[in-house]
Chain A
Amino acid sequence: MAGTSAASPATERRVVWPGLGWLRVGLLAGLAGGLGAAAFNGLLGERVLGEAIRLEEAGASHPIAIGEPFSRGEQQGGMIVGELVLGAGLGLLLAGAALLAGTGFVGTARRAWLIIAGTGAWAFLALPAVKYPALPPGVESPLPIETRQLSYLVLVGAGLLGVVLARLASLYLRRWLRPVAAAIAFTLPALLALALLPAEQTVTAVDADLLVRFRAAALGSQAVFWTLTAAAGLWLLEHSLGASFRQGRGRRPRAG
C-alpha cells in the first residue's frame, strides 16, 4: 500500500483502495456522524423527548417510583456518549464491510464507500423507519421488547442481504437477466421481512402531535448521522490518507 509512489501533484484526485486505511476512514467518519447527530439531538430532539417524558410522568397510572439511576441531565450526557459509541460502532462495521468485500466486489474507493454507507442508511434507517417508526418514552408498543429488538435486527439483516444478493446478481449475470435479478434480489428480502415480521398495530398514542414531532426528530437525527458519515468518509478518503494514497496524474487505477 505505502509503496504506491511519491505522488506527483494529484490533479485528478483519484483515490486508490486504502486497504487497512479503511479502519481510520470508517472510525473517524462514524464519529463525525455521531457528533453531528448528537448536536442535532441537543438542538431539537432532546426538547421533544423531554416533553414526552414530562407527559409520561404526568400520566399517574405509571408511577416513576422504580428509582431511575440517572438524572435527566446525565441521560442527556449519555445521549452524546451513546451517539459517539454508535458512530464508532457503525463506522467500524462500514470499514469491516469494505475490507471484507474488497475492491472486486464494491468497486473503487469512493464508490465503495458510497455504496456501503448507502447500504447502512437503507438497512439501519429506512427499513426500520417503515416497519417500526421510533417511539417516544411513554408510548408503549404492544410487542415485548425482545420481539421488537429481534424484529429490528432481522429487518436490518434483510436490508443488508438484499444489497449483497443484488451485487452478486449484477456481477455474475448477463444481459436482461442482470437488472431483473438484481432488482428482485434487492427488494425481496426487505419485502418479506416487512410482510412477515410482527406488526406493531395500534400504539396508544398519548399525543398524536407529539408522536409525529418525535418521529420527525428521530428521523432527522438519523438522516444527519448517515449524511455526515458518508460525506466525512468521502472527505477522509481524499485528504487523510497521505499522498501515497492519491493517484498521480496519468496513472492507471491500481485496483479494478
Chain B
Amino acid sequence: MAVARAVWLGTAVIRANERLVGGIALMVGAMLFYLAMLDQGQVAELLLASGLASGNHLHEFFHDGRHLGGVPCH
C-alpha cells in the first residue's frame, strides 16, 4: 500500500515537472519564433535604453528567411 502510494506520488511529481518544463519550452520557443519571424524593431527599442542596439536590425538580418518562410515581413 505504502509502495503504491509512493509510486503514485512519484509519477504525479514527474508529471507536474514535465508540465512545468513543457510550459517553459513553449515560452522559449515562442520567443525564438518572435525574434526570427515577427520582431519589427521592438527588441531594439528595448535595448536602445541600454545603448546596445538601434534600428530594425533584427528584421533586416532575418529578412530573407521571413520572406521565404511565408511570414509577413513588411
Closest CB in chain B relative to A79 CB, distance in Å: 4
Closest CB in chain B relative to A199 CB, distance in Å: 14
Say whether A102 contacts B18, CB under 8 Å.
yes
Give Cα distance in the complex from A146 to B25, angstroms: 26
Say whether A218 contacts B64, CB under 8 Å.
no
- The residues of A that contact B67 with a CB separation of less than 8 Å are 49, 134-137, 214, 218
Closest CB in chain B relative to A160 CB, distance in Å: 11
Of A74, A96, A100, which is in contact with the most chain B CB atoms at under 10 Å from its CB?
A96
- The residues of A that contact B23 with a CB separation of less than 8 Å are 96, 100
- The residues of B that contact A85 with a CB separation of less than 8 Å are 32, 35-36, 62
Interface size on A, residues (CB 8 A): 59
Say whether B33 contacts A41, CB under 8 Å.
no
- Asked if A36 is at the interface (CB within 8 A of a chain B CB), the reply is no
- Selected from A82, A99, A145, the residue in CB contact (under 8 A) with B25 is A99
Q: Mark B31-45, 1 if CB is under 8 A from A, else 0.
A: 111111110100000
Say whether A78 contacts B26, CB under 8 Å.
no
With A78-B61, A81-B62 as contacts: A93 and B70 at CB distance below 8 Å: no
How many residue pairs link A and B with beta carbons under 8 A? The number is 163
- The residues of A that contact B71 with a CB separation of less than 8 Å are 128, 152
Q: Which of B28-74 touch A at CB < 8 Å?
A: 28-38, 40, 55-57, 60-74
- Asked if B9 is at the interface (CB within 8 A of a chain A CB), the reply is no
Closest CB in chain A relative to B73 CB, distance in Å: 8
Say whether A75 contacts B63, CB under 8 Å.
yes
Closest CB in chain B relative to A77 CB, distance in Å: 8
Give Cα distance in the complex from A132 to B73, angstroms: 12
- The residues of B that contact A222 with a CB separation of less than 8 Å are 69-70
- Selected from B15, B56, B64, B66, the residue in CB contact (under 8 A) with A46 is B64
